[in-house]
Chain A
Amino acid sequence: MLFLSQIINGLQLGSIYALVALGYSMVYGIIMLLNFAHGDIIMVGGYVAMLTIAAGVHPILAVILAILACVVLGVMIDKVAYAPLRSSPRISLLITAIGVSFLLENLAQNIWGANARPFPNSSIIKGSAINIGGVHIGNTAIVTIAVSLLSMVVLTFLVQKTKRGKAMRAVSEDMGTAQLMGINVNNTITFTFAVGSALAGIGSILYCCTYPQVSPTMGSMLGLKAFVAAVLGGIGSIPGAMVGGFAIGMAEVLVRAAGLSDWTDGAVFAILIVVLLFRPTGLMGRPMTEKV
């Protein structure tokens, strides 16, 4: 029974990681950038939800506002910081992303203070735990898993079946050729950032409901781990990000259940290193070759 509830915990955490990892993976797939700022978009989403609810806005509206804020922020970051560097060396782009991440974290610290603040999770997900065959399953866990799965289904549909999705896949395959085929590359990139950031927004709310507090650096570790999940699954691969997310979530819960909660962060990175050594492109990534 204890085992079953650990599985539920793992799924809950894993689905959040998967949502965030999707954002990393989509952006990487399209402009080959590790968007270090992705985790901090999550942090901003958390603060927006918390502050708007505190200001008396209806929780559902607050959630929508938070997701919208993430989308706007994500797109803005791309337009202001990344777009001018499209043709620059990748290392410059990566350093810029680190700079943006740094900026958001420190701005948040200056505006909202360095300390963690409580998050009004009970006003978003109501109701109590349900009991199935003696196993208590928290309401938050059910909502988190359900919302995440639903989001992933919608995303898969979006990428596989719609015109926009087809454009996204084309651009990530070959930006130059896609452009020649009449695909508006800039719009497609913007769209990718918007979708990735929306997923980050959803992940943000779910994360804050699971661990009810917000702090300027909350996105940093969450982002890093989701990022590990994306790499683990094979960065650039959407199913890979989902698998990686669940794998990291499960691994973390299992390490904790084994009484080694101090070592979870270390364990996550150790898994990453082992995977990278044996499958440098992750579980589902494609190998990259350089034309000579």
Chain B
Amino acid sequence: MRQRVQIPMPVRYLINGVLIVLLFLLGQVLISTGVLSSYYQKILLQVGVYIIAAVSLNVATGYLGQLPLGHAGFMAVGGYTAGIFMKNFPIKGMPAFVLAILLAGIVAGIFGIIIGIPALRLKGDYLAIITLGFGEIIRVILLNIDTVLGFKFTGGAAGLMGIPKYTSFPIVFICVAVTCLAIHTMMKSRHGRAILSIRENEIAAESCGINTFYYKTMAFVASAFFAGVAGALFASYLGLLVPSDFGFMKSIEILVMVVLGGMGSMLGSVLAAAVLTIVPFALQSISQTVADYRMVIYSVLLIIVMIFKPSGLLGTYDFSFTRILEKLINRVGIHDGVAKKGEKSR
């Protein structure tokens, strides 16, 4: 019989909780001691925003197996919601910002339902096209709605200016942690399994009694919700939003992160989002010419990865600190000579 040490659930949660707190403290110390200059802090905030954007897109792309091409549209909805709310809400300060983030997520989620219900009736390429269309329509509306309304609402092409800038390391960190945890716990439940079953084989899922349309919508709305959160953080980070920030190209940029990291791997999305956000800044500090070719490098990378490793750099592998701990304990402790080939690493 195999005697493998398994860390019990409460302990796992404790270990992971401690890990998150340590990471947070590390960030705080680096900032307060001035090791991270304000320039690096800004990069760090952007990394956080893009991690949320990529991880949320991964729900629809990696887990549900669809290819929405309008993710930036949901970010735009969230960003503008938060921006307009914060500019007009009588109370200012952190509570207003937290409220704005929640509201941004909810409004983006509602857009997710509005767009998802028709879009998810279609499959594959058609879903890609229709979400692309919706993304573009959102941009056009943000650009022109003021002329229809007759008053300043989104600020048109000039942009929505004067959004209070509250985005800081602690709030971004908390949002990233909450997003990753919530998506993780959702995926490790009957809901998450239902979503995965649709990606794996929709007809089989239906014959297992999975209401595929319901779970597709659920995944799509979750994806939109967190994209809205990312949009809100982005809005309050920049203090200014213009519709052209949220075009087709932005959707593709986020998609590149998810694909390079490995569709279906949260760690992949997090790493790819971090690396692809940092790289341009790093390139800039090396040489402007190289930085100019950033997008060229991205696209070549994307093509090469698709040809040679279509599952992305990490495949569907997901990181688990406790699992690594378990492996270490088992290696040091009992040697069970059981072949682990084919055993699932999740």
B121/A220 in contact, CB under 8 A: no
Pair B133/A96 contact, Cβ less than 8 Å: no
Cβ-defined contact, B307 with A272, below 8 A? no
State in angstroms the CA–CA spacing of A231 and B129 once bound together.
Answer: 9
Chain B residues with CB under 8 Å of A112's CB are none
A276 at the interface (CB under 8 A from B): yes
Q: Residues of B contacting A4 with CB < 8 Å?
A: none
A interface majority secondary structure: helix
Given known pairs A224-B132, A262-B143, the reply for A106 and B296 (CB within 8 Å) is yes
Check A99–B125 contact: CB distance below 8 A.
Answer: no
Q: Of the candidates B126, B255, B299, which one forms a contact with A276 in the assembled complex, judged by CB atoms under 8 Å apart?
A: B126
Interface range on chain B: under 10, 10 to 19, 20 to 34, or 35 or more?
Answer: 35 or more
Report whether A98 and B292 are in contact in the complex, using a CB–CB cutoff of 8 Å.
no
The residues of B that contact A101 with a CB separation of less than 8 Å are: 299
* Chain A interface residue count, Cβ-Cβ cutoff 8 angstroms: 44
Report whether A98 and B302 are in contact in the complex, using a CB–CB cutoff of 8 Å.
yes
Residues of A near B252 (CB, < 8 A) are 98, 102
Q: Let me know if B280 is at the binding interface, CB within 8 A.
A: no
Q: Per-position contact with A for B156-171: 1 when CB-CB < 8 Å, else 0?
A: 0000000000000000
The residue in chain B whose Cβ has the minimal distance to the Cβ of A260 is B144
> Shortest CB–CB separation between residue A222 and chain B, in angstroms?
13
Chain B residues, Cβ within 8 Å of A84: 307
Give the distance in Å from the alpha carbon of A94 to the alpha carbon of B255 in the complex. 12
- Is there a chain B Cβ closer than 8 Å to A263's Cβ? yes
What's the least CB distance linking A88 to chain B, in Å? 5
List, in ascending order, chain A residues with CB within 8 A of B328's CB. Answer: none
B295 touches A (CB below 8 Å):
yes
Q: Pick the residue among B125, B134, B295, B303 that contacts A81 (CB under 8 A).
A: B303
- A71 to chain B: closest CB distance in Å? 21
What 6 additional pairs, Cβ within 8 angstroms, besides A81-B303, A263-B140, A276-B122? Answer: A90-B124, A99-B303, A100-B299, A106-B299, A262-B143, A269-B133
Q: Which residues of A contact B (CB under 8 A)?
A: 32, 34, 81, 84-85, 88-96, 98-103, 105-107, 109-110, 220, 224, 227-228, 231, 235, 262-263, 265-266, 269-270, 272-273, 276-277, 280, 290, 292
- Can you identify 12 A-B contacts, CB atoms within 8 angstroms? A90-B124, A90-B125, A99-B303, A100-B303, A103-B296, A228-B133, A231-B126, A262-B143, A262-B144, A266-B136, A270-B137, A272-B133
